[in-house]
Amino acid sequence: MRITGTHFNYLFVCKRKLWLFINNINMEHTSDLVYEGKLIHENSYQQRSYKYEEIELDGIKVDFYDTKNKIIHEIKKSNKIEAAHEWQLKYYIYVFERNGITGVSGILEYPLLRKKETIILSSIDRESIQKMEKEIESIGESDTCPPIEKTKICRNCSYFDFCYSGEEES
C-alpha cells in the first residue's frame, strides 16, 4: 500500500474513516464541506500558482511548494482537527526527506481564520511517523472495519450517513 497524507490525516481523525478510505469506500465526492475546502484551496492565494508549484511526490500531493525557501504550504479550511493537519504536513516533509530533499519545513494555512502555523520535523517525529505507517498498514490489512467512534466531528464527516444509517439519533 502506498501511504499518502490523507492516510495520516484520517489516522488522527477516525480509524474507521481510514479503513473505509483504504478499502476504496469513498464518500468525499458527496460532501459539500469537502467541495467548500476545494474552493478555498483554489481561490485563496491565487497568485501562488505563479511563484510556487503543486507537487506530487512518492504518492503525496502538496498544495504549494516554495522551492527557493524549501517550504511546503498546506491550506486548510478550519483548525478543528489541527493535530491531523500537523501530522499530514509532517508526513509530507518526511517524504521529501526520504526522496533526498532536505531542509524542508512547512506552513499550515487557514485563510478563513487568517492563521498560519510553521511546522518542522524532529527526529522524534520521524520515529513516530514510522510507527504510524505500520499502524496505517495494520488498519488497512484488517478484515473488519473499526467500530464507530462517536465524536463531535462525526456530524460534518462525509461518511456520516454511511456510519449512522439505521441508527436512531439520541
Q: What is the pLDDT of residues 94-148, one digit of tens each?
A: 999 999 999 999 999 998 889 999 999 999 999 999 999 999 999 999 999 999 9
Residue 63 has pLDDT above 90, yes or no: no
**pLDDT score for 20:** 95
Residue 37, pLDDT above cutoff 50: no
Categorize the per-residue pLDDT at 42 as very low, low, confident or very high, splitting at 50, 70 and 90.
Answer: low
CATH class of the 5-147 domain in this structure: alpha beta
Provide Rg for the chain, Cα atoms.
17
SS3 string, 53-95, reads EEEEECCEEEEEEECCCCEEEEECCCCCCHHHHHHHHHHHHHH
Where in the chain are the domains? 5-147
Query: In 69-167, at which residue ranges do the beta strands (DSSP E only) sit?
Result: 71-75, 105-110, 115-119
CA dist., res. 3 & res. 37, Å (int): 22
pTM for the whole thing? 0.84
Average pLDDT on 6-27 reads 94
Task: Give the type of residue at 38.
Answer: K
Mean pLDDT of 72-100: 94
Range 150-154 average pLDDT = 90
